[in-house]
Amino acid sequence: MSWKNTENRYGSLSIKIHWLMVLLMIFVFVSIEGRVFFEKGTELRDLFKMTHFMLGLLVFILVCARLYLRCVQVTPKITPPLSSIQAWGAKMAHLTLYVFMIAMPIFGWFVLSAKGKVIPFFGLELPALIAYDKPFGKILEGWHKEIGSWGYYLITFHALAGLVHHYIQKDDTLTRMLPPKKKS
């Protein structure tokens, strides 16, 4: 299988980045939800939060790579073709997901900056994006949490849409993004 996209299917690079991002998004959500099992101020709780921050920034980097690949490669056509309203809906759903995956890590970076906290990234300390303002940081954090909760719905909708295309509409929307079957 080629690493580049073709008219009929995504290439191995696009497929690997997509599924790596699926795993990363799972770990981003698990790390922030899992922190509640530990008391505030404990090392384990802080580790879960730090993991959430770092993986969120990694999502940002990978989504930028995905967008670059979308710009320089062909997008495989869906067979049979979608209706114009479905094609528009798919574009809007993907746009919403991309905005979410770009905005949330940046928003989180703003939260940490405003609260005067370290912005960790795998051994690096990233610079603050805005000045220290703890009350504003708390407001931003509330918005970040609220928007983050909508991520569950976005991702669930995306996954269900792929399954509907595969099992009900019987098109190749899902199979274009799956690794190819190994020949026996």
The structure tokens listed for 77 are 């056509």
5 falls within a domain: no
The pLDDT tens digits for 41-67 are 999 999 999 999 999 999 999 999 999
The one-letter amino acid at 91? K
pLDDT band at 184 (very low <50, low <70, confident <90, very high): low
Domain residues for 81?
Answer: 12-177
User: The CATH number of the domain where 109 resides is what?
Assistant: 1.20.950
The pLDDT tens digits for 56-103 are 999 999 999 999 999 999 999 999 999 999 999 999 999 999 999 999
The pLDDT tens digits for 22-48 are 999 999 999 999 999 999 999 999 999
What distance in Å separates the CA atoms of residue 161 and residue 124, rounded to the nearest whole number? 38
> Any idea which residue has 């320089």 for tokens?
72
Q: What domain count does the chain have?
A: 1
147 falls within a domain: yes
CB 31 within 8 A of CB 48: yes
For 60, residues 6+ apart whose C-beta sits below 8 A from its C-beta are 101, 102, 105, 106
What distance in Å separates the CA atoms of residue 165 and residue 163, rounded to the nearest whole number? 5
The pLDDT tens digits for 103-159 are 999 999 999 999 999 999 999 999 999 999 999 999 999 999 999 999 999 999 999
3 falls within a domain: no
- Cα–Cα distances in angstroms (integers) from residue 47 to residues 32, 39, 53, in the given order: 10, 12, 10
Distance separating the N- and C-terminal Cα atoms of the chain: 15
What distance in Å separates the CA atoms of residue 107 and residue 46, rounded to the nearest whole number? 19
In b/e form, how buried is each residue of 74-109, taking b as 16+ CB within 10 angstroms?
A: eebebeeebeeebeeebeeeeeebeebbeebbebbb
2 falls within a domain: no
133 falls within a domain: yes
44 falls within a domain: yes
55 falls within a domain: yes
110 falls within a domain: yes
